[in-house]
Amino acid sequence: MTEVLFYVFATVLLLAGLLVITAKNPVHAALYLVLSFFTAAMLWMLMKAEFLAVSLVVVYVGAVMVLFLFVVMMLDINFEELRKGFWKFVPLAALVAAIMAAEMVAILLHPAAQIPGAQLVEPPPGYSNVHELGREIYTTYFLPFQLAAALLLVGMVAAIALTLRKRKNSKYLNPADQIKVKRDDRVRMVKMSTEAKPTFEQPKADGESQS
Amino acid sequence: MTWTSLNAWVAAPEIFLFCATCVILLLDLFVSDAKRGITHALALIALVVTGVLLVYGYSPAQQFGFSHMFIADPLATLAKVGMVIGVALVLIYGRSYAIDRGIFKGELYSLALFSLLGMMVMASAINMLTLYIGLELLSLSLYALVALRRDSVESTEAAMKYFVLGALASGMLLYGMSMVYGATGSLNVFEISQKLLIDHEGNKLLAVFGLVFIVTGIGFKLGAVPFHMWVPDVYQGAPTPITQLIGSAPKLAAFAFTIRLLAQALEGFTPEWRQMLVVLAVLSLAIGNLTAIAQTNIKRMFAYSTISHMGFLLLGILVGSAVGYAAAFFYAVTYMLTAAAGFGVVMLLARQGFEADRLDDYKGLARNHPWFAGMLLMVMFSMAGVPVFVGFFAKLAVLKAVINLGMVWLAVFAVAMSLVGAFYYLRVVKLMYFDEPESSGALSGSLFSRVVLSLNCLALLFIGLYPNGLLSLLTDAVVFSLPL
């Protein structure tokens, strides 16, 4: 039964992945990506890695892909325009991909490439997936875990560095500047020479009276 | 599991660098644009302290830490010292360039330091997972740094290309690693090599299958032909300090990374990966040197020259013995210094609104700035492999190792291609010394950066005159670190 389910999910996963890159509408592509994440989560579920499966759905499907859909809908990009070169290169790319796939299948189906004893171990009763995962992450995999955190920090710094712009026309007030303001910042005394009263016939065009 | 069983102190330089980077990241928020020099000084201090910690912690032994995720051996430590110097040179040379181009921001420093952290992890990791995360830390920082001049179309295009191809390469590498994991059931470099050396343990066919993808991934990261497409565009499009950052220190990291994966984990497959590296090296030497002739942009020329130098680096690695690895290590260290000096001169000539990246910009440089023309001459001679300069001894060491292996045709081919390469290096010298200057360009850069640049160039001559000290130091490090 598990085997049948595996092949079903694997087929759906591959088809969804293919549709992600061939779908004309970017929203459809994003939805196919959701589908592929979901089926990948199901594959993990079959391997009894419930926590990973659930977190994949929650994190990727629930958070990342929803944000992604938002971005796709907010941006006005003509994806057909971007894809213009796509069909031109498909024959060559398909040929290369087919050769690679054939070679990979030939090797992976070879009897020598089968791993003996690669069946899943039946976990003992009371075995907790989350507990084991947590223990491993904070003991054996402590260094990669911390480095992954550094990686996320880099991602954040990079995103801010590349996108944060001070808007030129933003009309915000800095309270500190407002409090610190001095008289000289606002009022300017202009010294002017005294002038004769302009006569009625010749009103002087005064460019100097206004500071 | 306690703090002592973690043995975290073997990673003291990395831990310090990470903490220092975070502190700089935070302090920078309180620094106004006019006082950005504070960030610059702090970053340099952090680099100096990291370097001191590395040298202080140097010992000719293998020390493990973080439950066998991390190793501090002489090879890693020396490579890391080289990387720290490489990144420090980038920050020193790039300062006035960055100020003129409006990228003199805190992110330049925090991302550069994070990329250094990634490189250091790549040199010291002995678990495939840690190796991969180190690589990603380096790559992600570099993608962002390339795009830092976000209003420049060229930079954005370069960043996009770098990102897409880099992601593809990471995918390849990860796929290969997963295959090796499937074949051996282990991610640890030493366990993998043991399992593959013993018969009936580990699946050999599957491991070779993974090896192909790992070599592909490494080829991408090194920029070896036929995976070199990104190199010229990224070198040309990136701001020059970032080009220097990509072209210098990460080559050392890639060398250490390759040693960990090929020479240590997949040691049992030396004949298999040797064939692949021969193909990569031959193509890199040929295409790198021949295409560089046609370039009119000096950054692009440096890009193709890097490709050919990576061919030489691969020649050293494919020998598969301590002599070969030591020669490749020497090559990587000296190439790092040479490339840093080359880009340093380019940045010295660049000023606001003038990139100094066309070859014609170097016409008559000797008349305007005889001292720095002499410095660039040394860089070019070293890259071309003219005797007494360090590049000659680096090439010689690699060629000796290749001939010892019995692959004389390969050595002859490498020499022939170096001769082709000498043409475009000497063309720069000809432009500088025998052509009339088009303009009397002023130099940018502070006195400090000029002094450091001069010392860097003179080091090429000095190490060339006395190569034995460095060569024996690196050879000892390789012999201590790799049980061959």
Find the CB nearest A139 among B67, B114, B182.
Answer: B67
Q: Give yes or no for a contact between B143 and A158, defined as CB atoms under 8 angstroms apart.
A: yes
Contact yes or no for B133 and A153 at CB 8 A: no
Tell me which residues of chain B, numbers 12 to 51, contact chain A at a CB-CB cutoff of 8 Å.
18, 22, 25
pLDDT of B228 over the 60 cut:
yes
Reported pTM:
0.90
Share of chain A above pLDDT 90, in %: 33
Amino acid identity, residue B309? H
pLDDT digits (tens, 9 = 90+) for B97-153: 998 888 888 899 999 999 999 999 999 999 999 999 999 999 999 999 999 988 889
Average confidence (pLDDT) over B360-387: 91
Give residues with Cβ within 8 angstroms of B177, minimum separation 6. B128, B132, B187, B210, B214
pLDDT of A166 over the 80 cut:
no
pLDDT of B448 over the 90 cut:
yes
pLDDT at B323: 92
Q: Is the dihedral of CA B349, B354, B360, B363 positive or negative?
A: negative
Average confidence (pLDDT) over B41-61: 93
Every domain of chain B and the residues it spans: 3-481
CA angle A48/A50/A54 to nearest 5° reads 150
Q: Flag whether the ipTM exceeds 0.85.
A: yes
pLDDT at B3: 59
Every domain of chain A and the residues it spans: 1-90, 129-161
> Which of A69-83, A122-136, B127-141, B178-192 has the highest average model confidence (pLDDT)?
B127-141
pLDDT of B287 over the 60 cut:
yes
Q: Is the dihedral of CA B378, B382, B383, B384 positive or negative?
A: positive
pLDDT at B116: 97
pLDDT at B213: 94
Q: Which residue of B has its CA nearest to A147?
A: B133
pLDDT of B4 over the 70 cut:
no
CB neighbour class for A138 (10 Å; exposed up to 12, middle 13-18, buried from 19): exposed
pLDDT at A117: 63
pLDDT at A211: 45
Helix axes B74-101, B106-124, angle to 10 degrees: 160
pLDDT at B472: 93
Average confidence (pLDDT) over B291-303: 94
- Total beta-carbon pairs less than 8 A apart between chain A and chain B: 88
Distance from CA of A160 to the nearest CA of B (A): 9
pLDDT at B183: 87
Compute CA A173 distance to the chain's CA centroid, rounded to the nearest angstrom. Answer: 32
Provide the pLDDT confidence category of residue A95 given band limits of 50, 70 and 90: very high
pLDDT at B185: 85
Q: Where are the alpha helices (DSSP H) in A47-139?
A: 50-56, 65-74, 79-82, 84-109, 129-138
Interface test with B, best of A110, A154, A160 (most B CBs within 10 A): A154
- Taking all residues of chain B, what is their mean pLDDT, rounded to a whole number? 92
Contact yes or no for A108 and B67 at CB 8 A: no
**B33: its two tokens:** 């644009």
Average confidence (pLDDT) over B307-316: 95
- Is the Cβ of A128 closer than 8 Å to some Cβ of chain B? no
Average confidence (pLDDT) over B286-307: 94
Least confident of B39-48, B197-206, B314-323, B404-413: B197-206
pLDDT of A210 over the 70 cut:
no
CA–CA separation, A99 vs A66, rounded Å? 36
Average confidence (pLDDT) over A186-199: 77
Fold of A1-90: Four Helix Bundle (Hemerythrin (Met), subunit A) (1.20.120)
Average confidence (pLDDT) over B16-23: 96
Share of chain B above pLDDT 70, in %: 98
- Is the Cβ of B105 closer than 8 Å to some Cβ of chain A? yes
Give residues with Cβ within 8 angstroms of B371, minimum separation 6. B454
Q: Give yes or no for a contact between B131 and B261, defined as CB atoms under 8 angstroms apart.
A: yes
Buried b (16+ CB within 10 A) or exposed e, B276-303: bbbbbbbbbbbbbbebbeebebbbbbbb
User: Whose structure tokens read 């710094």?
Assistant: A157
pLDDT of A205 over the 60 cut:
no
Contacts of A150 in chain B (CB under 8 A): 18, 114, 117, 137
Find the CB nearest A113 among B66, B133, B203.
Answer: B203
Contacts of A140 in chain B (CB under 8 A): 67, 69
- Is the Cβ of B66 closer than 8 Å to some Cβ of chain A? yes
CA–CA separation, B43 vs B24, rounded Å? 7
pLDDT at B224: 93
